[in-house]
Structure 1
Amino acid sequence: MPDLDLTRHIPAPPDRVFHAITDPAQLLRWWGPEGVTIRDEQLDFRQTGPWTSTMVSPEGKRFKVSGQITHVTPGSSVGFTWAWHDEDDQRGHETHVTIAVEPSPEGGTTLTLHHRDLADEAAAANHNDGWTSSLNKLEKLFST
């Protein structure tokens, strides 16, 4: 099963970036690819437990995803399971995501996202597109 690894440099201190990743109000500002809106969310990555999010495309198509927050290392990393739901609201193939932040030697923060155990290469490509778009939005939070 393929894995996805993405790394970004963000021009802000790690504590601010980690806050944007875990705090519900900040998370909603960048969660999901560009152009989607978030509905029916339970997004609070400050502690372990369940999470859920429904992304709505500009055309109105709904994409529900959910999982369990498996670990939170304050100021450093958060991990969670991830599974898309089908039309009958049944969870599909479960994968695991870890987002870690650390001080960058150039200043700012190095953010690393690992998405493990994707079903196939097509799923890896789709998640690469989605995460890349989401991380673009996260970066923009710190570029203004």
Structure 2
Amino acid sequence: MVAALAARDKDRELTIVRVVDAPVGLVFKVWSQPEHIVRWWGPKNFTCPSCEMDFREGGAYRSSIRSPDGEDAWMVGHYNEIVEPERIVFTFAWEDADGMRGPQTLVSVTLSAEGEQTRLVFHQAPFDSVEDRDSHQNGWTECMERLEAYVEPLGHAH
């Protein structure tokens, strides 16, 4: 029974691991400053027209992503833990046009230096369903690809 519960819980978690060709301090910076986030936040071909963040433990954020066909999606949450340059933990929920929030998940981004590169471990849980997790996996994977494409040239500029 316990194994079945553990397996079910694993189905409701998302982990993405990337090795980014940029120093850890820089990767942390592009997660922590709105002027950087607007350049890579969201899946491929999306834009980030709005990003408000109070980047401190207990601080809130609210940002939007816009799909290629012009639809906006809003996400909101709070920063639970910030350890520069190693870890950012925040709550994540979608917010609809009426200000109603969907189910809340917890996201942790853990960064560690591997030489001049950065190992990034992204974790989000718990999802309501495997389908919900899979849709986030696709979006976040594209988002991490955009992060890499944005930050790697910055890392080589120094």
How large is the Cα RMSD of the aligned pairs? 1.5
Partner Cα distance (1:18, 1:41) in 2: 17
Report the alpha carbon displacement of residue 107 of structure 1 after superposing the two structures with TM. 4.1
- For structure 1, list consecutive stretches of 5 or more residues without a partner in the other structure: none
Q: Percent identity?
A: 27
Q: Which protein has the larger Cα radius of gyration, Structure 1 or Structure 2?
A: 2
How far 1:69 sits from its partner (Å)? 1.0
Q: Equivalent residues in 2 for 1:45-124 (5 A)?
A: 46-48=55-57, 49-104=59-114, 107-124=116-133
Q: Write 1 or 2 for the structure with the bigger share of helix.
A: 2
Q: TM-score, normalised by structure 2?
A: 0.84
Aligned to 2:148: 139
- 1:26 and 1:12 map into 2 onto residues whose CA distance is 14
Which residue of 88, 107, 127 maps to 2:136? 127
| Cα deviation digits, residues 88-136 of structure 1 (max 9, x gap) | 22001000000110012x6411000000101111110111011101100
8 Å CA contact 1:27–1:43 kept in 2: the answer is: no
Structure 1 segments, 4+ long, off by >6 Å, are none
SS in 1 for 2:39: coil
Residue-pair matches, total = 142
Q: Give the counterpart of 2:48 among 19, 38, 53.
A: 38
Deviation at 1:73, TM superposition (A): 0.5
Give distance in 2, aligned partners of 1:114 and 1:136.
16
**CA shift for structure 1 position 20:** 1.1
Q: Deviations over 1:32-54 (max 9, x none)?
A: 1111121232135x312110111
Tell me which residue corresponds to 1:27.
Answer: 37
Look up the SS of the partner of 1:135 in the other structure: helix
Deviation at 1:60, TM superposition (A): 1.2
Distance 1:120 1:93 in 2: 11
> Are the aligned partners of 1:52 and 1:66 in contact in 2 as well (CA < 8 Å)?
yes
Tell me, in whole angstroms, the C-alpha distance in 2 between the residues paired with 1:138 and 1:62. 20
Pairwise CA distance, 1:142:
3.5
TM-score under structure 1 length normalisation:
0.91
Return 5+ residue gaps in structure 2 as ranges: 1-8, 154-158
